[in-house]
């Protein structure tokens, strides 16, 4: 395998002009990511993006967003109708071919525009049994929450404690939609959205955009003082129909984590895409993360869920742990589908020269 590293990560500001286009959210974000490592759009050999037309109800919207990457003269590019973390996976595969050294990955989504996210996401379900009854992602997450509470013996108070901790963790995170000190008792006075999940248990959906730069081999060391090397990356899917799964566990995360080599040396930090609080418990167990592992120091998806971008942001935050904070081994996780159906695990390493 060819050594590939993340050398840069940038995220669009949470506050945007009203009606801002995704292209204009992305353009300065991509420029920022490339500029920090002295690269330009001309240096990029492969571009891959992640987004979903269903969010705003547009058609082929990724074509407009591609203009932010600079698509003239023509470039080599691809798009996934998925979270940007899967675009990063494709870019990593593309760099394994060996003929290009630099890849740009970006993702964007306007979860607050268009239709209700709970309504839109029913379209990811099977069209026979679940989509017709409008089984939205919060209702399904509530079923998972109930299974988790029964499986682990934890309580709604434990879920509130996770949320309170993440909001404290997010105090310094400018991309957090909610942050700061809040008491568990105060949280438990919030209304249920779907029992046992209350308003705070569901990460607030926000608009967002992010960009990551991947560079292969020695060139990564040339452009970046401390690249975050991709030591392992894998993605797996559970069966599409939630009814055939044990929702208290995530087999696909466990397999992806094992194949990405989480256990081979452990990790100091894990950035997990837990959009609803019980998911964090499921993921930590599936990945074998004990109390020594710092989980979601950014606050994670419980403080902001820029749909289609959230997973890429987790990997970007994991990169920051290596690059900015000198961590040796961390992981970023992305998830998609109902009740953590699809999962991607990316293990990053900082290496001393």
Shortest distance (Å) from residue 334 CB to another protein: 25
CB 39 within 8 A of CB 70: no
Shortest distance (Å) from residue 261 CB to another protein: 37
Residue 70 structure tokens: 């600079």
**Residue 131 backbone class (left: φ over 0; alpha: ψ -120 to 50; beta: rest):** alpha
Shortest distance (Å) from residue 66 CB to another protein: 9
Q: Is the dihedral of CA 32, 38, 40, 43 positive or negative?
A: negative
CB 75 within 8 A of CB 104: no
Shortest distance (Å) from residue 23 CB to another protein: 7
Site track 264-283 with another protein (rule: CB under 8 A), x = hit: --------------------
Site track 206-245 with another protein (rule: CB under 8 A), x = hit: ----------------------------------------
Give the nearer residue to another protein in terms of CB position, either 120 or 321.
120
Using CA atoms, how far apart are residues 30 and 211, in angstroms rounded to an integer? 6
Give the nearer residue to another protein in terms of CB position, either 65 or 318.
65
Angle between helix 277-286 and 137-152 (nearest 10): 60
Give the nearer residue to another protein in terms of CB position, either 21 or 190.
21
Using CA atoms, how far apart are residues 228 and 346, in angstroms rounded to an integer? 11
Q: Is the dihedral of CA 142, 120, 283, 128 positive or negative?
A: positive
**Whole-number Cα distances in Å, 139 to 30, 144, 346:** 36, 9, 29
Shortest distance (Å) from residue 31 CB to another protein: 8
Give the nearer residue to another protein in terms of CB position, either 54 or 229.
54
Binding footprint of another protein, residue count (CB under 8 A) = 31
Shortest distance (Å) from residue 227 CB to another protein: 25
Site track 4-43 with another protein (rule: CB under 8 A), x = hit: -------------xxxxx-xx--xx--x---------x--
Angle between helix 277-286 and 156-169 (nearest 10): 90
Give the nearer residue to another protein in terms of CB position, either 54 or 86.
54
Shortest distance (Å) from residue 75 CB to another protein: 11
Residue numbers 40-59 binding another protein by CB under 8 A: 41, 54, 56-57
Shortest distance (Å) from residue 74 CB to another protein: 12
Residue 330 structure tokens: 């961390």
Give the nearer residue to another protein in terms of CB position, either 136 or 156.
136
Give the nearer residue to another protein in terms of CB position, either 120 or 252.
120
Residue numbers 60-119 binding another protein by CB under 8 A: 67-72, 110, 113-115, 119
Q: H/E element holding 206?
A: strand 205-216
CB 29 within 8 A of CB 221: no
Residue numbers 116-135 binding another protein by CB under 8 A: 119-120, 123, 127-128, 131-132
192 binds another protein (CB under 8 A): no
Characterize 207-246 residue by residue with b for buried, 16 or more Cβ atoms within 10 angstroms of its Cβ, and e for exposed: bbbbbbbbbbeebbbebbebbbbbbbbbbbebeeebeebe
Using CA atoms, how far apart are residues 135 and 123, in angstroms rounded to an integer? 10
Shortest distance (Å) from residue 50 CB to another protein: 20
Residue numbers 147-176 binding another protein by CB under 8 A: none
For 321-345, the DSSP string reads: HHHTT--SEEEEEEEESTTS-EEEE
- Give residues in contact with another protein (CB under 8 A): 17-21, 23-24, 27-28, 31, 41, 54, 56-57, 67-72, 110, 113-115, 119-120, 123, 127-128, 131-132
């Amino acid at each position: 395998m060819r050594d590939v590293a993340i050398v840069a990560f940038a995220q669009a500001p949470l506050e945007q002009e009203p009606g801002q286009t995704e292209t204009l959210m992305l353009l300065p974000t991509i420029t920022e990511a490339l500029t920090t490592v002295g690269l330009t759009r001309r240096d990029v050999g492969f571009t891959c993006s992640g987004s979903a037309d269903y969010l705003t109800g547009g058609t082929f919207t990724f074509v407009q967003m591609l203009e932010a990457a600079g698509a003239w003269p023509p470039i080599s590019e691809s798009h996934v109708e998925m979270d940007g973390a899967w675009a990063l996976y494709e870019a990593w595969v593309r760099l394994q071919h060996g003929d290009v050294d630099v890849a740009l990955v970006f993702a964007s989504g306007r979860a607050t525009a268009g239709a209700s996210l709970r309504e839109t996401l029913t379209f990811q379900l099977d069209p026979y049994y679940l989509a017709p009854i409008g089984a939205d992602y919060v209702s399904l997450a509530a079923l998972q929450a109930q299974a988790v509470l029964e499986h682990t013996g934890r309580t709604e108070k434990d879920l509130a404690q996770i949320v309170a901790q993440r909001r404290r963790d997010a105090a310094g995170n400018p991309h957090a939609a909610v942050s700061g000190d809040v008491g568990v008792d105060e949280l438990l006075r919030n209304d249920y959205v779907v029992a046992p999940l209350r308003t705070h248990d569901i990460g607030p959906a926000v608009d967002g955009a992010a960009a990551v730069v991947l560079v292969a081999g020695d060139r990564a060391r040339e452009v970046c003082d401390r690249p975050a090397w991709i030591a392992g990356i894998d993605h797996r899917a559970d069966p599409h129909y939630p009814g055939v799964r044990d929702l208290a566990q995530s087999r696909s995360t466990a397999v992806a984590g094992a194949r990405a080599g989480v256990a081979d040396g452990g990790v100091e930090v894990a950035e997990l895409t837990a959009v609803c609080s019980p998911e964090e418990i499921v993921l930590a167990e599936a990945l074998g993360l004990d109390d020594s592992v710092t989980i979601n120091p950014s606050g994670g998806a419980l403080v902001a869920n820029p749909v289609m971008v959230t997973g890429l942001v987790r990997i970007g935050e994991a990169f920051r742990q290596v690059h900015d904070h000198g961590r040796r081994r961390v992981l970023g996780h992305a998830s998609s589908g109902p009740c953590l159906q699809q999962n991607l695990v990316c293990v990053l390493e900082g290496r001393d020269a």
